Structure formats: C-alpha cells, structure tokens
A = this chain, B = another copy of it.
Amino acid sequence: MENFTYFNPTKIEFGLDKEQSIGRHLAEHGIKQVLLCYGSDRIKRDGLFHVVRTSLSEQGINLVECGGIVSNPVVSKVREAIALSRTHGVDAILSVGGGSVLDSAKAIAAGVCYEGDVWDLFIGKASIQSALPVFAILTLAATGSEMNAYAVVTNEDTKEKLFIGNTHLYPKVSIINPARMQSVSRDYLVYSAADVFAHLIDVYFTASMQPTLLSRLIESLINTVIETTETLLANPADLQARGEFAWSATLALNGLTFSGASGFSYPNHAIEHALSALFNVPHGAGLSVVVPAWMKWYHSRNPVQFERFAQNVFHVHSAEQGIADLKNWFDKIGTPTRLLQLGIQETDLPAIVDNALTNARAFGIADMYTRDVVTTILRNAL
C-alpha cells in the first residue's frame, strides 16, 4: 500500500424520495439564495423541478434558475452562470441533473469566488482558494462527480476539455434517487456504463503498485456494472439494478478504488476528451471506442493484471480474450467501439492526436503518450 490521504466529506442521501428533503439540507448549511443549475426542461416536465422548488420554498430559500447546460458542458455557460450568481448574490449552487450539470455547478462555485476568468483555474494560471457550497440531485449515474472533488469542462473556443480538482469542490450533500434515473435513455445508460468502466479500469491496469484488495474491489464494481446494465436493458424499471448501478458509479470514482495504489493515470480519459472536445460525441460513447483500442496497445505492459481481468470478469484465460470479450460486450449493449460509428474518419486523426497530447500533458502522462503512441491507439479504433 502506498501512503495516501482519504478525506471525503460529501454526505450521500441515497434512495426513494430523498430529493424532497433538499430544502432542509440547504437550510442546515444556512443557505438563503441558491443558483439552481439544470440541463433541458425535462426536469420541469417530469415534476422534479416542482419538488425541488417546493422543498426550497418551505425553507424560505430563494432560487435563481440557470437552465440549458449541455452535455460536454462549456465554459461560456459557466461564465454566464458566474455572472448571474454575482448579480443575485447566491450563496450556494444546486445541480439538478447528471455529471455535466454538476461539473458546471462546481466550476461556477469556484469561479464565483475567483476574481479572474474561471478558465484560469483549468489551465493552472490560478488555483482554487475557495468555492461556494455545492449541492446535487443526480438524475444520471455515470461520472461519480456526486462524491468527488473534480469537474470537467470544455472551452469551445480553444477546443480544450480540461479538469479542475480541489477539496472545496466536494458536494456538501448529493441526493441519489434511482427512481429519478428510470427515464434515462437506453443510449445514455450504455454510455454511462462505459464511463464507469473506464474510471475503474484506468486505475486497475495502469497502477504501478496496485494492492490486491483494490483489484478485488474494482472487480466487484466492474461485475456489478456488467450485470446491472444487462438487467436494466432488459427491464428499465428494475429499481434494485438501477440502485446498484448508481452506487457502483459513485464508488468508482470517490477515492475507494485508488487509495493505496500508486503510479496510476487516466489515459483513456485523456484520449477520449479529445473526441468529445472536437466532435461533441457523448463522453461514454467516446470511451467505449477508446478503451478496447487502448487495451490492445497497452496489455503487454501489464500482462498479469490483464490475465487477472480476463479471468475474474469474463472467466477466460488470456489477456487477448478478455479484451475481445469486453469489446464484444460493448457491442452487445450497443455502445460504439469504432471511431467510424462516431462519424470520425482517418483524416480526422491528426487533429485528435494534437488535442489528446494537450490532455496527456494535463494528466501528467505525456512521457508515455507521445504522438506515435496516441496515433497507434486511435488507429486501433478505426
């Protein structure tokens, strides 16, 4: 085990009807005026917005609306929301949505407390010294943002998709009600499965020191994601599976899987961010394309762990068969495994590689992920 610090102060409220208490949670933190971030008007049509407004109103908390946050959220919207927050003097940010809304909420929370342009915090020009408190009601389980201190945002001018991470960004309270996820589309369910998968296998395969305990915990989460995705595709109303899928997504990136590991990195995310930054493909769809291609390139660097994966996830005996089985599983559930399925051609590769190299530097893995290597991996995905 490597030395580590584990500190995760987010309170999780998991289960049916938990969103009805959102007002009380904000009141316990002394909140009087909140910026309510959301994506489409779906939350108005399905009644969630009404539940939230009622709960806030019961506690005398004013809300300022900030709708229209898109998947692969953009910094221009974050800037607009920061201005809105300042105008209204909000003292907290409430995200009602999936990871894109929540990541935007975190960026807004940090940006309100920073004098300069919020993008400075993403490119390392300034560091986060404080942030407004963030609260979340999750409507899509995938990114794990509900119980971590990270946020990913795209700068649509520079085509950079970058992340911030800071202790101040842990949500104070995150509400996860699986019943509120039942209307997630089939496509977004399988993209989400690919995202959770990538969070788990990036650590699992790349750690230079990976305690067996952590391998076991990750396999527990992987096997649960596989099982519950299949259950939900057959029966989207299965609340037990919906709940286990959601909680697996949270545990996949809340610190549990990497506390005690060392030398790990997130190469699949570094490469995928180039696809979603340039082509605005769903992040999970990009990942299911990149992951098998990366595995094909990477597996000889950690053969023992790839054989372990093959054995403990797909019950086969060779690394190659494990990788093939994962790709087949992605195909089976209906998430893309080829760049062409995303509408990306061979001629697009140089621009993707350029973008990915910037990400590789941000992720601290530029030594290994050179132009040649990234090109090789992406060619595997053509």
User: Which A residues fall within an 8 A CB radius of B?
Assistant: 1-16, 18, 178, 211-213, 216-217, 219-221, 223-224, 227, 240, 243-244, 247-248, 256, 259-260
Tell me which residues across on chain B come within 8 A of A9, comparing CB atoms: 9
- Cβ A216 vs Cβ B212 within 8 A: no
Tell me which residues across on chain B come within 8 A of A227, comparing CB atoms: 212
Using A223-B216, A224-B216 as known contacts, say yes or no to A6 and B1 having CB atoms under 8 A apart: no
Tell me which residues across on chain B come within 8 A of A7, comparing CB atoms: 10-12
Tell me which residues across on chain B come within 8 A of A259, comparing CB atoms: 12, 14, 247
Using A14-B4, A14-B5, A16-B3 as known contacts, say yes or no to A247 and B220 having CB atoms under 8 A apart: no
Tell me which residues across on chain B come within 8 A of A216, comparing CB atoms: 219-220, 223-224
Residue of B nearest to A245 (CB): B213
Using A212-B244, A244-B212, A247-B213 as known contacts, say yes or no to A6 and B2 having CB atoms under 8 A apart: no
Residue of B nearest to A147 (CB): B6
Partner of A213, one of B1, B13, B221, B260: B221
Partner of A1, one of B212, B219, B243, B256: B243
Partner of A15, one of B4, B13, B243, B247: B4
Q: How far is the CB of A55 from chain B (nearest CB, A)?
A: 17
Q: How far is the CA of A323 from the CA of B10 in the complex (A)?
A: 38
Tell me which residues across on chain B come within 8 A of A14, comparing CB atoms: 1, 3-6, 259-260
Tell me which residues across on chain B come within 8 A of A244, comparing CB atoms: 1, 211-213, 260
Residue of B nearest to A4 (CB): B14
